[in-house]
Structure 1
Amino acid sequence: MPSFDARALTEPVDRAAVKRFAQEIDTRYPRSTGATVAFVAAIAFAVVIGIMIVVIGGGAVLLAVATGLSAGDGGPGLVGFLPLLFFGGVAAVVVVGVVVSSRRMKERRWRLDRFARANGMAYIPTHADPPLPGMVFGIGGSRRSDDIVRGTTPRFVEFGNYQYTTGSGKNRSTHRWGYVAIRLDAPLPHIVLDALGNNTVFGSNLPVGFRTDQRLSLEGDFDEHFALYCPEGYEADALYLFTPDVMARFLDNVGRLDVEIVDDWMFLYTRRQVSTLDPATWQWMFSVVGALIGKLDQWGRWRDERLAASPAGWAPGSPAAGPLPFSVPAATAPPRGVASEGRRLRRRFSWLGLVFLVLAVVGWFLPLLTGD
């Protein structure tokens, strides 16, 4: 990882530079039609609400004045103007809120772009439906990564905030994650490390569950911090990848993060923002990635011996260097890739989800059946 420079996150704002950068961003990354319509609709809604509030407030004052004069008491005085002051204040708050929110977003993007450049990286404001294979990226709809900070040296690393929606109508929910995506040198078996420290009383905070017969127990106190899942039959491969020194790195640096290794990627997940204006968060994330990168080179030498007889494995990525971990003749050395049985973990069937589905269906049809 490059040297850490967080001055851009807290230094004084150059208003002219922010304005120029916002115009540049709008040119390089034009809003989608849906985003443009939503933004215009929000502005129009705020304006309409403001006008309605002023009209209603003015009408209330005029009514109070008319009532006071007809009663012969000389008018409502200051009290009669309180509705106008109240509604006018609400209208001002709405308009100011829209303006301040837009200004903060522009300043945030300007700071993150400067921060990325200062650390040898690049900033991307948003990316709809990112094509990443991690478990959180294929769920729900309206999938989007925001405030992406991406570097390519010494290997590809991407920091971002991600969100997706599930359900519809009143049951619509937005799920937010912070993530770090690290590109590996070779595809590896699908392995998940569920950090036990960030789970809830209801169990894992991960969006999907995995069958417990795929859980592998490792030596030392590793099991007290992580639940490790690997495909059946790949236990020895997981032990090769998670040597004691690698496990020590995870325990020391990634105890609060969930980890997924899938295809030729490693993902670190958290339920809070990763790409932020907080220098302490960035310093922590840089230290985590820096500690792990030094141990990932040896993973590039892993080969799936199951492909020695059938080289039809999936094998993206760049060529790996170094000797093979298995003593097989060079002429029959397995190609890079993972056999089909190791590419994805088997997911656990959710009885709780089925119960909720049944209750929802019953709740929908019960009024129809009873005639209510």
Structure 2
Amino acid sequence: MSAPQPAPPFDAGPLTDPVDPRAVSAFQTELRARGTSGVSAASIIAIVVFGLVFVVAMTLVGATMVSMFTDPGASSFAGLGILAAAGVGITIAIVSWRRSRVARYRLDAFARANGMSYEATAANPALPGMLFGLGRSREATDLVRGTQPRFVEFGNYQYTTGSGKNSTTHRWGYVAVKLDVPLPNIVLDAKGNNGFGSNLPASFQREQRLSLEGDFDQYFTLYCPEGYERDALYLFTPDIMARFIDNAAELDVEIVDDWLFLYTQRKASTLDPATWAWLFGAVGAVITKLDQWERWRDERLLIENPTAAAAASSRVSPQAAGERLPFAPPAGLLSPPPGVAHEGRRLKKSFPWLPFVVVIGFAVFWFWSRSF
């Protein structure tokens, strides 16, 4: 195993330095001028609910105060309780609102100090990862983006499943790295962040599991499309496996189309300098090895459409072809264009049986225990 890669230097000062309230207000005005107040949909709902609760609470307070003057012995204790509850609720709401404004200001300053940009919210982000097509009310928040040496986006993401009392809001942090060429859909399910089974929102057919050499399997379960095992071995050479083990063992990883995603069930865009150091280190360690991935080509494209492949490719020598491809082509073979054949573009998903097995087992145990 290689030594862990140090995080690239960055300026974390804006995350913790004192802020000028006037600068925070000016930045909030700037956000509104951009067409976004920086307030997420969930925050808007919370504000509306709080407003309704506030109106009801003030009505009750008014009625209680009148009652205290007409019958003080009977209602004074209840009135004081309502007043205290209303005061606590209003204080919490104001503090939370101010903290969110300051957090957005700090993240914007942090992004600018490190040559990046900040965006407060983005509804329905057009990303191909497994998280981004699930549920409803999809929203990314606190997006910090960089473009050098390649495009990278750090963000927090949430979506809602179910309805009514059974609705659940799922929250994730993610890092999206733009690749230069499309690659097969490969998932690394990190074992270090799993609980009772995988924490991923999707399950994949067991036939797509691939065991790699060394101790890689102790840290990740790798899934690749059937028939792409040799390609996965080309992409995940021992040095690249070591980079993932040393720097991303607590992150789930997905390669899909021309994107690399790192997923975590904690905030990725945060005011915690240690989190940024961790994620910067993981990204920096991985992207230094992406040149090898950019040379990968899918020979299946020559079979799918040999005419188009020939038009988009140039003749290469056997030696050059061997350097570009994860196989040794015969002399004179045309190099396929960048891309992935249909069967390698998406992993095949499986039905998540485990939750149902647990529920059924609990129901059977409950009925059995009730019968005695």
Deviation at 1:84, TM superposition (A): 2.9
Helix, strand or coil at the partner of 1:188? strand
| 1:228-243 mapped onto 2 (5 Å cutoff) | 228-243=222-237
* Structure 1 residue 138 corresponds to structure 2 residue 133: yes
Amino acid at match of 1:308: L
Deviates more, 1:274-283 or 1:29-38: 29-38
Deviation at 1:182, TM superposition (A): 0.5
Question: Hey, what does 1:193 align to over in structure 2?
Answer: 188
- Structure 1: unaligned runs, 5 residues or longer: 66-75, 360-372
Deviation at 1:94, TM superposition (A): 2.2
Deviation at 1:311, TM superposition (A): 3.8
Q: Which has the larger radius of gyration?
A: 1
Contact 2:104 2:142 in 1 (8 A): yes
Cα distance change, pair 263–33 in 1 and its aligned pair in 2 (3 A): closer
61, 65, 71: which one pairs with 1:58? 65
| 1:51-130 mapped onto 2 (5 Å cutoff) | 51-65=58-72, 76=73, 81-130=76-125
Output the CA distance in 2 between the equivalents of 1:310 and 1:129. Answer: 33
Measured against aligned partners, the alpha-carbon deviations of 1:290-347 in whole angstroms (never above 9, x if no partner) come to 11110112101100011123349999xxx9xx95224446662111100000001111
Question: Hey, what does 2:210 align to over in structure 1?
Answer: 216
Output the CA distance in 1 between the equivalents of 2:302 and 2:75. Answer: 88
285, 289, 299: which one pairs with 1:295? 289
Cα distance change, pair 37–137 in 1 and its aligned pair in 2 (3 A): closer
Deviation at 1:56, TM superposition (A): 3.6
Output the CA distance in 1 between the equivalents of 2:178 and 2:40. Answer: 32
Question: Hey, what does 1:332 align to over in structure 2?
Answer: 334
Output the CA distance in 1 between the equivalents of 2:336 and 2:278. Answer: 38
Deviation at 1:241, TM superposition (A): 0.2
Helix, strand or coil at the partner of 1:309? helix
Measured against aligned partners, the alpha-carbon deviations of 1:346-369 in whole angstroms (never above 9, x if no partner) come to 11123356679999xxxxxxxxxx
Deviation at 1:36, TM superposition (A): 9.3
Output the CA distance in 1 between the equivalents of 2:12 and 2:238. Answer: 33
20, 28, 31: which one pairs with 2:34? 28
Contact 2:40 2:121 in 1 (8 A): no
Amino acid at match of 2:346: R
Deviates more, 1:79-88 or 1:181-190: 79-88
Output the CA distance in 2 between the equivalents of 1:280 and 1:37. Answer: 30
Deviation at 1:89, TM superposition (A): 1.9
Contact 2:36 2:120 in 1 (8 A): no
Deviates more, 1:347-356 or 1:101-110: 347-356
Output the CA distance in 2 between the equivalents of 1:289 and 1:133. Answer: 19
* Structure 1 residue 13 corresponds to structure 2 residue 19: yes
Output the CA distance in 2 between the equivalents of 1:296 and 1:63. Answer: 77
Helix, strand or coil at the partner of 1:137? coil
Contact 1:127 1:145 in 2 (8 A): yes
Cα distance change, pair 330–49 in 1 and its aligned pair in 2 (3 A): farther
Output the CA distance in 2 between the equivalents of 1:249 and 1:310. Answer: 34
Contact 1:179 1:274 in 2 (8 A): yes
Question: Hey, what does 2:304 align to over in structure 1?
Answer: 310
Contact 1:307 1:313 in 2 (8 A): no
The alignment's TM-score, normalised by the length of structure 2, stands at 0.84
Contact 1:46 1:94 in 2 (8 A): no
- Structure 2: unaligned runs, 5 residues or longer: 1-6, 314-319, 362-372
Percent identity, aligned pairs only, is: 55
Deviation at 1:43, TM superposition (A): 5.2
Deviation at 1:80, TM superposition (A): 6.2
Amino acid at match of 2:218: E
- Count residues in correspondence: 341
* Structure 1 residue 182 corresponds to structure 2 residue 177: yes
Cα distance change, pair 36–269 in 1 and its aligned pair in 2 (3 A): closer
Output the CA distance in 2 between the equivalents of 1:224 and 1:36. Answer: 40
Question: Hey, what does 1:342 align to over in structure 2?
Answer: 344
The alignment's TM-score, normalised by the length of structure 1, stands at 0.84
Cα distance change, pair 255–40 in 1 and its aligned pair in 2 (3 A): closer
Amino acid at match of 1:194: D
Helix, strand or coil at the partner of 1:104? helix
Deviation at 1:40, TM superposition (A): 6.0
Measured against aligned partners, the alpha-carbon deviations of 1:87-126 in whole angstroms (never above 9, x if no partner) come to 2222222222222221111100000000000111000101
Contact 2:145 2:152 in 1 (8 A): yes
Contact 1:177 1:269 in 2 (8 A): yes
